[in-house]
């Protein structure tokens, strides 16, 4: 049986639907001309550098097919492990993670071995726009592979979990920890089958999780409980996220942050159209929180004050 919930009930719960998100929050707060800053991960990286926000180090960029032969070798030779991704990709598509080298190739997180040729093919696919929005031409970026901190080793399957924080007009609104599963293939994107766990904004402790819009409190692959886990550096994460929002000039964004074992929180990417699944993961609607922020937004505050406000109120 398909279950329904009535619109009035959803409204009462303060759930934000797609139409409301697009019209009330995205279109009103995110000017079109700023989109390239977040849709292109290279631009985001540049911007973050300027704002002195930590990102995974960029090893190199491949822009043309010619560079595959000339440049890619050198980049790959210089690093033991790395991640290749399309700079305009989304939803985890086209991301190749390499964790080790062998004499004649590379190793993926699941232990599978691939050759140089496989990597060249992958990069040329990226360049031809196979993974980018609307099939436009793209560039491939090669960056530092994030090594996730031990806190998560029990609840993420072969992939770096990322923290998604939604920032509205400078204030953290809601957070979610996304955990890779076997199905999501080492990537922490919800519609690839990753688990989203709500996070208490006040203290950074995980609540229950959801997978494909269904409640899931035990990780299906590691069989460990998802709730009750303290995310380290929580306050820093919120502050970095709030800073990111400032640097883009957009009013409503989703910030993806990963936690590196040694380097701490790093910005992975920004999102001008963050998904609505975060409401299911937190078992709470966004609207009441957004309204609350709207009520205080006139008061000028520093980043740390705004974060403190959110931690107190949500």
Partner 1 sequence: MKKIVFYSMIVGLIMTALSITIYKVTILDFSLTPGSSKENWSVEAKVQFKAKGGPVKVSLFVPPVYEELVSLEENITRGEYTLFEEKLKYGKKVIWAARKDDEKRTFYYRLDLFKGAPKIKEELSTVEEDRFMPDNQKANLKSLVARTHRKSADAETFFLRLRQNLDENSGDVKSLKKYYKDKGGITGLIGDALEMEKIKYHFVQGLIKESAGKNQSLKSYIQVESDGQLLSFDFETGEKGLPENFMIWKYGDDPLLEVVGGENSKVTFTLLKESIPVGKVAELRYAFQKRGLAMFSLMALPLNQQHTFRLLLMIPIGALIMVIMRVLVGVTTSGTFMPILFALAFQQTSLLTGLILFAIVIAAGIWIRSLLTKLNLLLVPRIAACVIVVIFIMATVSILSHQLNIVAGQSVTFFPVIILAWTVERMFIHWEESGAAAALQKIGASLFVTTLIYIALQSDSIKHIMFYFPEQILTILAVIILLGSYTGFRLLELVRFSSFKEEKVND
Site for ligand ADP, rule CB under 6 A: 56, 83, 85, 89-93, 95, 97, 143-146, 159-160, 162, 180, 187-189, 256, 268-269
Binding residue (CB under 8 A) for partner 1 from 67, 125, 222, 313: 125
Nearer to partner 1, 19 or 312 (CB): 19
Beta strands in the chain (DSSP E): 58-62, 82-86, 96-98, 100-102, 105-107, 113-114, 140-143, 162-168, 171-179, 195-199, 206-211, 214-215, 252-260, 264-271
Binding partner 1 (rule: CB under 8 A), the pick from 135, 202, 228, 230 is 135
Q: Does 235 interact with partner 1 (rule: CB under 8 A)? A: no
Using CB under 5 A, pick the residue from 256, 287, 289, 307 that binds Mg ion: 256
Burial of 278 (C-beta count, 10 Å sphere; 0-12/13-18/19+):
buried
Report if residue 133 touches partner 1, rule: CB under 8 A. Answer: no
Using CA atoms, how far residue 310 sits from 83, 171, 173, 231, 276, in Å, is: 34, 6, 7, 17, 19
| Residue 13 to residue 287: CA distance in whole angstroms | 8
**Contact partner at residue 97 from Mg ion, ligand ADP, partner 1, none, CB < 5 to 8 Å by partner kind:** ligand ADP
Residue 38 CB, nearest approach to Mg ion (Å): 11
Sole window of 171-179, 225-233, 275-283, 306-314 interacting with partner 1 (rule: CB under 8 A): 275-283
Distance CA 123, CA 145 (A): 17
Q: Which two tokens stand for residue 65?
A: 């097919």
By CB atoms closer than 10 A (0-12, 13-18, 19+), residue 212 is middle
> Which entry of partner 1, Mg ion, ligand ADP, none binds 96, CB below 5 to 8 A by partner kind?
none
Closest separation in Å from C-beta 209 to partner 1: 12
In the complex with partner 1, the residue whose CB is nearer, 149 or 184, is: 184
Using the rule CB under 8 A, which residue among 201, 280, 286, 290 binds partner 1? 280
Site for partner 1, residues 211 to 230, rule: CB under 8 A: 213-215
- What are 3-8's contacts with CB under 8 Å, separation 24+? none
- Asked if 284 is part of the footprint of Mg ion (rule: CB under 5 A), the reply reads no
């Amino acid at each position: 049986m398909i279950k329904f919930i009535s619109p009035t009930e959803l409204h009462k719960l303060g759930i934000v639907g797609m139409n409301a998100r697009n019209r009330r929050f995205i279109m009103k707060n995110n000017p079109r001309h700023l989109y390239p800053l977040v849709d292109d991960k290279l631009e985001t990286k540049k911007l973050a550098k300027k704002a002195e926000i930590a990102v995974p180090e960029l090893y190199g960029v491949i822009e043309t097919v010619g560079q595959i032969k000339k440049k890619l070798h050198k980049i790959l030779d210089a690093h033991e492990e790395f991640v290749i991704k399309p700079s305009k990709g989304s939803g985890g598509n086209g991301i190749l993670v390499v964790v080790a080298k062998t004499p004649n190739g590379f190793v993926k997180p699941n232990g599978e071995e691939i050759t140089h040729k496989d990597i060249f093919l992958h990069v040329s696919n990226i360049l031809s726009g196979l993974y980018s929005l609307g099939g436009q031409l793209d560039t491939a970026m090669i960056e530092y592979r994030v090594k996730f901190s031990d806190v998560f080793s029990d609840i993420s399957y072969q992939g770096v979990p990322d923290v998604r924080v939604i920032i509205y007009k400078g204030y953290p609104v809601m957070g979610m920890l996304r955990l890779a599963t076997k199905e999501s293939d080492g990537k922490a994107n919800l519609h690839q089958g990753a688990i989203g766990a709500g996070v208490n904004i006040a203290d950074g402790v995980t609540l229950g999780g959801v997978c494909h819009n269904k409640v899931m409190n035990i990780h299906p692959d590691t069989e460990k409980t998802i709730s009750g886990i303290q995310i380290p550096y929580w306050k820093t994460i919120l502050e970095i996220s709030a800073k990111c929002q400032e640097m883009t000039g957009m009013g409503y964004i989703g910030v993806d942050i990963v936690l590196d074992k040694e380097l701490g929180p790093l910005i992975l990417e920004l999102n001008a159209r963050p998904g609505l699944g975060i409401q299911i993961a937190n078992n709470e609607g966004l609207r009441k929180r957004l309204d609350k922020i709207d009520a205080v937004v006139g008061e000028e505050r520093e980043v740390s004050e705004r974060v403190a406000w959110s931690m107190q109120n949500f």
